[in-house]
Structure 1
Amino acid sequence: MKPARLQLDPSTINDSSKPEQTGQIFNVWYSKWTGGETNGRAGLVHAKTRCHVTKDSGYTKADRHVKPGGLNRDKYFCVYFARGCCCNGKRCEYLHRIPTEMDQLPPTVDCFGREKYMDYREDMSGVGSFNKVNRTLYIGRINSMDGNIELKLGKSFGEFGDIERIRIVKSKKIAFITYRLENQAQFAKEAMYGQGLGEDENETLNIRWANEDPDPNARKRKREEEDRAGIESAKRLLKELAAERASEVSEEVSEVEDEHEDEPTEVSTATPRPAIMPKPIISTDSLGLLLKLKEKRKVLREEREKSKGLELGYSSEDE
């Protein structure tokens, strides 16, 4: 994997051009600001920078703490990388890539580590709510609906995750995009805010969280998708835990073998115990034959005892 690319030259950054610090409270555990979204994006203007996932993604310092192919539970994504303006590159303390299903982060924060709230804002902007999973984005201020607008939306937003559905309302020049993962919707909301479709500088998209669709079929489909996602997540976690347990057991066995490797081998002089032979299986025909032989043997024994009594001069009638 290649190192993360510098999206901005650090020498071109000064105090006046740096984006304002996100959050209101400094979290000493994560050494970052949380509790808000004061990010210098007041007012909707066309974004000066843009994230190009293919050429900008790469490893950073945060990747040292995530095992290859393992679950990521404590490393967040760089919000400035999503906006296309990170000047740290491979020295960044946050991840420079797209979220995947292996990123199992707490439900009380978004993929950037910003704390969620109980309710959404009135305009459905901001970090979001921790009361429900929302994977659908509202796309407003689309300049033109000419041509294959669904293809344009899929190409621009598909760069940041797997899209499940795109619904377009041409009369209002808006669209709704649903991602497969909530983390990917969070990343795309930050990455495409203020951008244009196909890097159109004359277009400034307004990205917000979508309200719940009142259609009963849509609600039913959402419940089915959430149930399916929960089952898949549980299976994936069980598989990961089983793999971790198997790795721990193999390490314990290796340690025990290393401890007893230099010990002398004791030769046992005791007589080996005979192997326990399994009981033979007797068929119905063989069992009948054995019963007949047993009955015949009983008759012969009685006749032998009777003849022996006659030789001694008494019989059973004398008794």
Structure 2
Amino acid sequence: MAPRKAARVQIDPAAVNSESKPQQTGQVFNIWYSKWTGGENNGREGLVHSKTRCNVELDSGYTRADKHVAADSVNGDKYFCLYFARGCCCNGKHCEYLHRIPTEMDNLPPNVDCFGREKFMDYRDDMAGIGSFSKVNRTLYVGRISNLDGNIELELSKNFGQYGDIERIRVIKSKKIAFVTYRFENQAQFAKEAMYGQSVTGDVNEALNIRWASEDPDPSAQKRNKQEMERSALKKAQKLLEEMNRQRLKEGVKSVKESPTTDHVATDPASTNPPLLESSPSIIINTDSLSALRKLKRRKIIKKHQDSIQTPLRTILADYSSDSD
């Protein structure tokens, strides 16, 4: 397999200057959020069409952050580049953050978003901002859609589908708004930044207002969301278990190759699963995977679907106690 390409520089560093900052609408300029704070107007007047946009196919690639996680399937403590999502990172492969789309295998702390920004207890009154750590929200509110002609659902799917797996799109044409639900929350977090101020039709006069959607009060919708979350958690648990088993097998084979040759290993060509594969103390399981599995177990999702998981969770967790993490 050919090595993954290096992340592309999205904008020329020489083009970044004091004029690149947005028009002053407050008292203090926050360089992290690239906006003015303190007295700014968060209304419609302050939203303009974004000058840059993330092209996932062209811009994605490895950065310095990937070197720290090359040995693991989970990104660990590395987060995604906020400026890459906005299409304006000038560091390219030298960036300290990940330049790719989040996946279900990216285990992130619940108190931060995929960019490493700390969440709050409650949402902002306007449902903008980073979000809340008290609930999982995978649905984005999309406002200020200027043109609803044609198949707007298809246009929304094309644009928002670049940044993750979409479960559902609902359009309310009378209000010129839409709701986009992703399979995973980290993809919704990424898309919220990537599509803010963008256009679904290429119209430079259109600037989408992306916010977090409020919870649907419909009982049937709440029941559906709960079932979807359980299915998603179950699939993630299955993949984590498969990854852990794969790592146990890999580390076990490595231990056999590096250990001194013994008679029963050397003279038994029919043996494909040496005892070391099951009991080697040198096997190391990724602690992020264990943490995620324990979290799913506490939520009783694993227990509810235990029979459908090939490898019992309790067997793996028993081998690697919290003391040994």
- Give the shorter-chain TM-score range: 0.7 to 0.9
Q: How far does residue 48 in structure 1 lie from its aligned partner after superposition?
A: 1.2
> Letter of the aligned partner of 2:161 in structure 1?
G
Query: Pairwise mapping of residues 136-285 of structure 1 onto structure 2 (< 5 A)?
Result: 136-257=139-260
* Unaligned residue ranges in structure 2 (runs of 5+): 23-28, 37-41, 264-325
- For residues 173-215 of structure 1, what are the alpha-carbon distances to aligned partners after superposition, in whole Å with 9 as ceiling and x for unaligned? 1000001111111010000001111321110110000011111
Assess if the C-alpha contact under 8 Å between 2:12 and 2:90 holds in 1. Answer: yes
2: CA distance, partners of 1:112 / 1:85: 15
Aligned length: 246
User: Of 54, 57, 61, which residue of structure 2 is paired with 1:54?
Assistant: 57
Q: Name the larger-Rg structure.
A: 1
Q: How far does residue 63 in structure 1 lie from its aligned partner after superposition?
A: 1.1
> Letter of the aligned partner of 1:156 in structure 2?
N
- For residues 256-304 of structure 1, what are the alpha-carbon distances to aligned partners after superposition, in whole Å with 9 as ceiling and x for unaligned? 226x79xxxxxxxxxxxxxxxxxxxxxxxxxxxxxxxxxxxxxxxxxxx
Assess if the C-alpha contact under 8 Å between 1:150 and 1:168 holds in 2. Answer: yes
Equivalent in the alignment of 2:84:
81
2: CA distance, partners of 1:130 / 1:247: 36
**Secondary structure of 2:101 counterpart:** coil
1: CA distance, partners of 2:205 / 2:65: 36
Query: For the aligned residues, what is the CA RMSD?
Result: 2.0
* Structure 1 stretches of at least 4 aligned residues deviating more than 3 Å after TM superposition: 18-23
Assess if the C-alpha contact under 8 Å between 2:105 and 2:236 holds in 1. Answer: no
Asked if 1:40 corresponds to 2:12, the answer is no
1: CA distance, partners of 2:76 / 2:228: 23
Question: Percent identity at matched positions?
Answer: 63
Equivalent in the alignment of 2:319:
none
2: CA distance, partners of 1:230 / 1:167: 24
Equivalent in the alignment of 1:91:
94
1: CA distance, partners of 2:31 / 2:69: 25
User: Of 130, 142, 152, which residue of structure 2 is paired with 1:127?
Assistant: 130
2: CA distance, partners of 1:123 / 1:190: 16
Assess if the C-alpha contact under 8 Å between 1:8 and 1:87 holds in 2. Answer: yes
TM-score when scaled to structure 2? 0.71
2: CA distance, partners of 1:124 / 1:92: 30
Equivalent in the alignment of 2:273:
none
Equivalent in the alignment of 2:305:
none
Assess if the C-alpha contact under 8 Å between 2:166 and 2:183 holds in 1. Answer: yes
Equivalent in the alignment of 2:66:
63
> Letter of the aligned partner of 2:191 in structure 1?
A
User: Of 10, 13, 36, which residue of structure 1 is paired with 2:13?
Assistant: 10
Q: How far does residue 238 in structure 1 lie from its aligned partner after superposition?
A: 1.7
2: CA distance, partners of 1:189 / 1:68: 30
Asked if 1:116 corresponds to 2:119, the answer is yes
Query: Pairwise mapping of residues 274-313 of structure 1 onto structure 2 (< 5 A)?
Result: none
**Secondary structure of 1:166 counterpart:** strand
Change (3 A) 1:21 1:94: farther
Q: How far does residue 103 in structure 1 lie from its aligned partner after superposition?
A: 1.1
**Secondary structure of 2:203 counterpart:** coil
**Secondary structure of 2:171 counterpart:** strand
**Secondary structure of 1:257 counterpart:** coil
> Letter of the aligned partner of 2:260 in structure 1?
E
1: CA distance, partners of 2:175 / 2:30: 35
Q: How far does residue 246 in structure 1 lie from its aligned partner after superposition?
A: 2.4
Q: How far does residue 141 in structure 1 lie from its aligned partner after superposition?
A: 0.6
Assess if the C-alpha contact under 8 Å between 1:118 and 1:129 holds in 2. Answer: yes
- For residues 106-136 of structure 1, what are the alpha-carbon distances to aligned partners after superposition, in whole Å with 9 as ceiling and x for unaligned? 1111111111111111111111011111110
- For residues 201-237 of structure 1, what are the alpha-carbon distances to aligned partners after superposition, in whole Å with 9 as ceiling and x for unaligned? 1101100000111111111100101111121122222
